[in-house]
Chains A and B, each alone.
Chain A
Amino acid sequence: MQQTDELFSALLDGELALEEIDALMESLDRNPKSTEAATRWSAIGVMMRGQSRLSARTDLLEGVREAIATEAAEPSKSKVVALASRRRVRRWALPATGLAAAASLAIAAVVVPAAWQAGSPAGTVQEAAPAGGSANVASVSPLQSGVAQARLEERPAGLRVGNRDSAVLPVGDERLNTYYIEYAGHRSAQGIGGPLGYARYAAHNADLSHRNR
């Protein structure tokens, strides 16, 4: 018994030989009084240094054992492990989340104006087009305005962006819409900014049209 207690004393000081670990682990269950005594011994130094008496009265081992045993029986309570695995998922999913958010914005920017135009007569672009509008757009677009216009006309009328607004806004804005779509695609392909620029423009554009009504 005394030899075992001496092992506990050496453990507290970090002076236990590695080959003595097994003997000490075996005695943990056999000599509960020794573990209680070891708790008090560890407090002696604390008190000699003029610190708290807390540690002399508090044996944490039993509570820790119970909690670990409970968790082993109910693994779902392992919060830290769960948090760690969530963190791994988050790190992995971070780029995908950004892409998903950008894609959602782009879709919203395209679909919302399309939904607004439902019910409005097709071909209002041409009806509302003032003379010279196309020249104005061509002067600011880095893309060939003819190509952009052709792509616009290839799309079904129900999907043309800004058709409803075109009843109010000049055709230059319609072309500017197209330009922004093309430009946003170009920027996205180059990895510079994605569709956010267009989304910002579309939101502003829609706001303008509502004010003009």
Chain B
Amino acid sequence: MKEELLDEELVRRAQEGEQRAFDLLVLRHQSKVLQLVSRFVGDADAPDVAQDAFIKAYRALPNFKGQSAFYTWLYRIAINTAKNQLVSRKRRPQAQDIDVQDAELYGHTEQMSDIDTPESHLLTSEIQQAVADAIAQLPDDLRQAITLRELEGLSYEEIAEAMDCPIGTVRSRIFRARAVVDEVLAPLIDRPSQRST
């Protein structure tokens, strides 16, 4: 609920012409949109398609009336953009419509992603392993906080209740956990060989 309120406020401010509010929306949702479209068009085209989806969303933002959650609206735009991309490449889009939530839950090996290369799978495995190792080495309080957030999807308030600590502490622990994992992640991502895919 709090997430939706934040999105509503950012959308309102973006509709009033504050470009940076839309920037924050991009930052907030880019990861999920990328995952979503990559399942349709594959990893190679996903960044372009996701970017195109955000640009379309920006253009259409004045018409967004808030009848659905912003992310639902955005994901529909992303799915349509991905489908159009498939059609333009003369690849058959999914025969059936995929619900936004379902699309998010699809595993990376599901039928949608049929054009990834073995190399991309290898890179995925390598980075995932590095992240998993980094998480495993985190202090208990940080690991528990980020796990409850990322894997269980709990809100800060729920995590605070589960860990019996203030919400501010939860926020700080999650941030610190991310910073530690990022120290491992950033060098892997910046490796030149991995920029080429």
Contact = CB atoms under 8 A, between A and B. Distances in A.
Interface of A: 5-6, 8-16, 18, 21, 24-25, 28-29, 35, 37-61, 63-65, 67-68, 71, 78-81, 84
A57 B189 contact: yes
Given A10-B171, A64-B54, A84 B63 contact: yes
Nearest to A42: B31
A51 B32 CA distance: 11
A54 B150 contact: no
B132 A48 contact: yes
Given A15-B2, A53-B128, A54-B47, A24 B24 contact: yes
Contacts, number: 177
Interface stretch (B83-91, B92-100, B174-182): B174-182
A181 to B, nearest CB: 47
A12 B3 CA distance: 9
B23 A45 contact: no
B26 A61 contact: yes
Nearest to A13: B149
Nearest to A29: B20
A21 B27 contact: no
9 contacts: A9-B171, A15-B156, A21-B10, A47-B132, A48-B146, A56-B189, A57-B189, A68-B22, A80-B56
B186 A40 contact: yes
Given A11-B28, A16-B6, A65 B23 contact: yes
Given A28-B23, A49-B151, A60-B47, A41 B156 contact: no
A35 B150 contact: no
A57 B120 CA distance: 12
A46 B31 contact: yes
B182 A52 contact: no
A39 B27 contact: yes
Contacts of B194: 57
A28 to B, nearest CB: 5
Contacts of A13: 3, 149, 156, 174
Contact of B51 (A50, A55, A60): A60
B28 to A, nearest CB: 6
Q: Which of A21, A29, A51, A84 counts the most B-chain CB atoms under 10 A from its CB? A: A51
